[in-house]
Amino acid sequence: MADVTLFDAQSENTASPRVASKLSIVVPTLNERENLEPLLDLLSTALGDTAWEAIFVDDDSCDGTPERIRELARRDPRVRCLQRIGRRGLATACMEGLLASASPYIAVMDADLQHDERLLPLMLEALDSGAVDLVIGSRYVAGGGVGDWSSGRVRISGFATRLARFICKADIADPLSGFFMCRREVFEAALRRMSGQGFKILLDLLASSPEPPRVRELPYSFRERQHGESKLDTMIAWEYGMLLADKLVGRFVPVRFALFGVIGGLGLLVHLVVLWIALNSMGVGFSAAQAIATLVAMTSNFVLNNQFTYRDQRLRGPGLLRGLVIFYMICGVGAVANVGVASYAFTSHHAWWLAGAAGAVVGSVWNFAMSSVFTWRRR
Ligand SMILES: Nc1nc2c(ncn2[C@@H]2O[C@H](COP(=O)(O)OP(=O)(O)OP(=O)(O)O)[C@@H](O)[C@H]2O)c(=O)[nH]1
Ligand SMILES: [Mg+2]
């Protein structure tokens, strides 16, 4: 593919040309300050005179990562920083980095030097040959490996990989790899169907592609992390479950809504337990007991939804309190709508259970729709 040469207005005197990049490498970062410079050195060496750029997408790291990226960007115009405030999530970080790029070839790789940058020229070569659309750095083909993972992590990763193969539309050894390169069109065709849930952007891309892309896997050995800490935690498994659920049933019921409904059901249980306790051991009247139970149930629903349903937009600090108050208000209106619809249906001679269910559905849809806009609104 021919490189396009642009004129750099700032350096008119030296008339130095800038070359539009052929490859954009998106690197998600969360507290990776010490890895940035070594990574850029490795990329420069590996990619030689290929025109490339690195877009670091940082979720407001507190160790000075975004400042260090900008410092490096002042020295090297191939480096860019996209800093997101109040957001979390590796998959959405990569998606937004890819959207901020324009190169015909795009790649995703981790910042922590665990992905072997020497694969990048081979990936480019494979795409240039025209034979494939997507090249994966694979730990699970001959010649690849997972380094010094514990046996527990190997087992969990093997299990997660088997699950992933169910939902991706191609026979791929390592659909959970975080290291891949593809033609821009592959990403653009899948983009609007992608979930953006959790850590596994490649699986999301594969499962969301309208046509299975032509894939090649190249082996590499996952290296040991040199600096900084792993961001893997127990919630990764949860987020992975959300991604799988979305890919399996998301067409029929939005997974967030289903989860919101399940938490709402739990809230009913909490309500009844608290009501019973208030009536039997707090010595208050029914109205007061009902008010206490309602408050506790709404609060527990808020906490659970904040922790699970809207984990990627989790509220913290003062935002948490503000969100809670908005949630109380929305649920208050939801309860009025619920009772109104149910009473109307009941007086229109519908069965009690149908009237009750209609009220509950209207109330839940209201609560879900309003709280996703006003409580956990995307910034
Ligand atoms: N922007 C952004 N980057 C993230 C987030 N979580 C992780 N990352 C980055 O994504 C990459 C992969 O995260 P790691 O913690 O290294 O995960 P891993 O490589 O699967 O696990 P380890 O082997 O334990 O390192 C790293 O570059 C992280 O800095 C996030 O929420 N937002
Ligand atoms: Mg890592």
What does 58-94 look like in DSSP terms, one character per residue?
E---SSSHHHHHHHHHHH-TTEEEEE-SS---HHHHH
Q: Which of 9, 12, 5, 58 is nearest to 35 (CA)?
A: 58
Distance 180 CA to ligand 2 centre (A): 14
Q: Express each pLDDT in 155-169 by its tens digit.
A: 888 888 888 888 886
Residue whose CA lies nearest to ligand 1 atom number 20? 232
Kindly indicate the confidence band of residue 9, based on its pLDDT and cuts at 50, 70 and 90. very low
In which band, very low, low, confident or very high, does the pLDDT at 18 lie, cut at 50, 70 and 90?
A: low
244-262 pLDDT, tens digit each: 888 888 878 888 888 898 9
Ligand nearest to the CA of 30: 1
Site to substitute for ligand 1 among 26, 27, 30, most atoms within 8 A of C-beta: 30
DSSP class of 217? E
CA of 293 to the centre of ligand 1 (A): 41
pLDDT band at 294 (very low <50, low <70, confident <90, very high): confident
Q: How many angstroms does the Cα of residue 230 sit away from the middle of ligand 2?
A: 6
Give the containing element (helix H, strand E) for 44. helix 33-47
**Which residue from 98, 86, 124, 81 is spatially nearest to 24, judged by alpha carbons?**
98
- Gap from CA of 125 to ligand 2 centroid (Å): 26
Give the model's pLDDT for residue 142.
92
The binding-site residues of ligand 1, defined as CB within 6 angstroms of any ligand atom, are 28-30, 32, 57-59, 88-90, 93, 110-112, 114, 225, 230-232
Residue 321 pLDDT greater than 90, yes or no: yes
Atom of ligand 1 nearest to the CA of 57: 1
Task: Give the atom of ligand 1 at the shortest distance from the alpha carbon of 231.
Answer: 15
Distance CA 140, CA 156 (A): 14
- What type of residue sits at position 8? D
105-121: burial string, b at 16+ Cβ within 10 Å, e else: bbbbbbbbbbbbbebbe
Nearest CA to ligand 1 atom 6: 90
Band of residue 69 on the pLDDT scale cut at 50, 70, 90 = very high
CA of 232 to the centre of ligand 2 (A): 8
Q: Among 7-16, 274-283, 368-377, where is mean pLDDT lowest?
A: 7-16
Quick one: pLDDT band at residue 378, thresholds 50, 70, 90? low
The CB-side HSE value for 107 (13 A sphere, CA atoms) comes to: 29
Average pLDDT, the chain: 88
What is the rounded average pLDDT of the residues 307-330? 90
- CA–CA gap between residue 316 and residue 301 (Å, rounded): 16
Q: Which ligand is nearest to the CA of 231?
A: 1
Per-residue pLDDT tens digits for 179-211: 999 999 999 999 999 988 878 899 999 999 999
pLDDT(282) > 70 = yes
C-alpha 185 – ligand 2 centre gap (Å): 27
pLDDT bucket at 373, cuts 50 / 70 / 90: confident
- The answer to whether 137 touches 246, Cβ cutoff 8 Å, is no
- pLDDT score recorded for residue 170: 73
